[in-house]
Amino acid sequence: MAAPHDPPRVRRRGRRSGGDDTRSALLDAARAAFAERGYDGATVRHIAERAGVDAAMVNHWFGGKEALFTASLHIPFDPAVVMPEVLAGDHEQLGERLVHRFLTTWDATGGAPLASVIRSVASHEAAARMLREFVTRVILARIVGVVAPDRPELRAALVGSQLIGMGLVRYVVKLEPLASADRATVVAAVAPTVQRYLTGPIDPS
């Protein structure tokens, strides 16, 4: 007697399982959500729904929302590679090279990773600390340590204020005409100020 046929398997639809693709989906969803809503506005539930997974997967893979935010901070360049390129050449054109690299890097991503952090720093100290430490220690400390004639910490903070402020206006507030201005125009306008912060006089005369 022939054995009965097994019933056909029905593929379940719904949320993803807890595999590696879940982690990738959460990172993609988190980057988009943090960029759009900032840290406080992007809830764990919203991110999980956007990724098509259960909210418990955030804790499973990352330990919580803050760790997910940290993991989602995708910086699209390697400072160890970029900084020697910026420092190469005449130090009197360093401000121009730095502003040009800043704009080239973030324009290529639409500014979303930077916008995610900037939107979050006002209400979340961890985000503020991440941005502060990345800008001052990872990027600017390498520059001012080479070229600054005096007061390197103040000079780094001044340059950071100029770059972050420009990022805020261009990628978050999107204030026109700066938001859509071509890079050459922005570099020509901003680089002299950055150059003065790096190598020029900053104390009252």
Domains along the chain? Answer: 20-73 (1.10.10.60), 79-199 (1.10.357.10)
Which residue's structure tokens are 């050449």?
89
d(CA 141, CA 161): 14
Query: pLDDT digits over 76-126, tens only?
Result: 777 778 889 999 989 999 999 999 999 999 999 888 888 877 777 777 776
Instruction: Find the farthest-apart pair of alpha carbons in the chain and give their distance in angstroms, rounded.
Output: 104
* pLDDT at residue 171 in the model: 93
pLDDT of residue 6: 45
As a three-state string, the secondary structure of 40-77 is HHCCHHHHHHHHCCCCHHHHHHHCCHHHHHHHHCCCCC
* ∠ CA 31-108-49, rounded to 5°: 20
Rounded (10°) CA dihedral 14, 20, 22, 27: -160
Helix, strand and coil percent figures for the chain, each rounded to 5 = 70, 0, 30
Distance CA 173, CA 43 (A): 22
- Which residue is associated with the tokens 């009197």? 92
Q: How far apart are CA 75 and CA 81, in angstroms?
A: 13
Residue at 166: amino acid letter: M
What does residue 177 show for φ and ψ, rounded to 5 degrees? Answer: -90, 5
Tens digit of each residue's pLDDT (9 = 90 or more) over 2-50: 445 544 443 334 455 556 789 999 999 988 888 777 777 889 999 999 9
Check residues 121 and 152 and name the one with the higher pLDDT.
152
- The Cα angle at residue 149 between residues 147 and 155, in degrees rounded to 5: 75
- In angstroms and rounded to an integer, the radius of gyration of the C-alpha atoms of the chain is 22
Q: State how far the Cα of 190 lies from the Cα of 188, in Å rounded to an integer.
A: 6
Q: Is the bond leading into 149 cis (omega within 30 degrees of zero)?
A: no
What phi and psi, each to the nearest 5 degrees, are found at residue 175? -75, 120
- Report the chain's mean pLDDT, rounded to a whole number: 84
Average the pLDDT over 134-153 and give the result. Answer: 85
